[in-house]
Amino acid sequence: METKVIKINSPADYPLLDPAAACLRSGGLAAIPTETVYGLAGNALDADASRKIYAAKGRPQDNPLIVHISDFYQWAPLVQEIPASALTLAKAYWPGPMTIILKKSALIPDATSGGLDTVAVRMPSDPIAREVITRSGVPLAAPSANTSGRPSPTRAEHVYEDLNGKIDYIVDGGPCAVGVESTVVTLVDGAPRILRPGGITPEMIRDVLGACEVDPAVYEQLKEGVKAASPGMKYRHYAPRARVTVLSGPLDAYVRCVNAHAQEEGVYALCFDREGAKLSVPYIEYGAQADSAAQAHQLFDALRELDERGARRVYARMPSGEGVGLAVYNRLMRAAAFEVIELEK
């Protein structure tokens, strides 16, 4: 089948969403824009719809899905209870790029939660996403709308490239604003803990709740046999077809290392703005070194462009890991399967 594309230019076009909303309500799949990345949406209360999401993406079924809502009143039925800390956090940063994990209610099927007794819920700030949820009348499970393991899609064209013929609709709302997936924070046990970093930083959560830990899996591969509590924890993610290695060290050491591989076929550099001119290999720049938000916005586009150019080996600059840079660090490290070279100064 040919996937239907619905282009939304303004709120005046919202009635065009009705066929996609009806499709979602009846168990079909539609890719929708959010402020983070495009999501592959299905009825979160329908186990069959969730299984279709896994099948379309080629996603392991123990990797939980995030449930998207469009209003606060939709949250309570999905969880056993909403503690004061969760409500405080949601009031501070919803709608926005933050996902909160709590114990799930009986409404959430195991197929949606990846077999866990918890559910991850967020309220996107993208108005088109919320309009689709509202018109469908059901909460929507929506992981990134890409083939599992590939760089996440920040444009409708990326979704079409990966999923045309596998899903019913693509809602084209233009480029995503943030560019990396939402922050996932669990409030199930003890202090708030970030399982996946995003646009809401640990510092922002501490400002509201006074404390916030960062799970070790943000920095390293999940240990064998440990069940993933959040999307983006367990498997190699966000990866282009090329082998990616992250180089940690100052610019001059990076330049020396990359240029030493200039005669090798298919070598590319992934570097910060205004650094590429120093290199003897083809390069893609993904934001200024001091601008983590720009890096987040451009990273997945850059990783997909590496595929378009036929890159086979990529040497990437290490992001800072501070603030939003922690999300950039996490995505790039997973794209590289945590392969890092520490450069001598």
- Alpha-carbon Rg for the chain in angstroms: 20
- Across 116-129, b (16+ Cβ under 10 Å) vs e yields bebbbbbbbbbbbb
Structure tokens at 260: 């030493």
First CA to last CA across the chain, in angstroms?
A: 55
Numbers of helices and strands, H then E, in the chain: 10, 16
Cβ atoms of 107 and 78 closer than 8 Å: yes
Per-residue pLDDT of the chain (345 residues; tens, 9 = 90+): 799 999 999 999 999 999 999 999 999 999 999 999 999 999 999 999 999 999 999 988 788 999 999 999 999 999 999 999 999 999 999 999 999 999 999 999 999 999 999 999 999 999 999 999 999 999 999 999 999 889 999 999 999 999 999 999 999 999 999 999 999 999 998 889 999 999 999 999 999 999 999 999 999 876 655 566 666 655 566 789 999 999 999 999 999 999 999 999 999 999 999 999 999 999 999 999 999 999 999 999 999 999 999 999 999 999 999 999 999 999 999 999 999 999 987
Which CB contacts under 8 angstroms, 24+ apart, belong to 153-159? 153/31, 153/37, 153/38, 153/300, 154/37, 154/38, 154/179, 154/297, 154/300, 154/301, 155/38, 155/301, 156/5, 156/31, 156/33, 156/38, 158/38, 158/300, 158/304, 159/31, 159/38, 159/40
Instruction: Give the integer Cα–Cα distance in Å for 213 and 205.
Output: 10
| The pTM of the whole model exceeds 0.75 | yes
Phi, psi dihedral angles at 77 (to 5 degrees): -65, -15
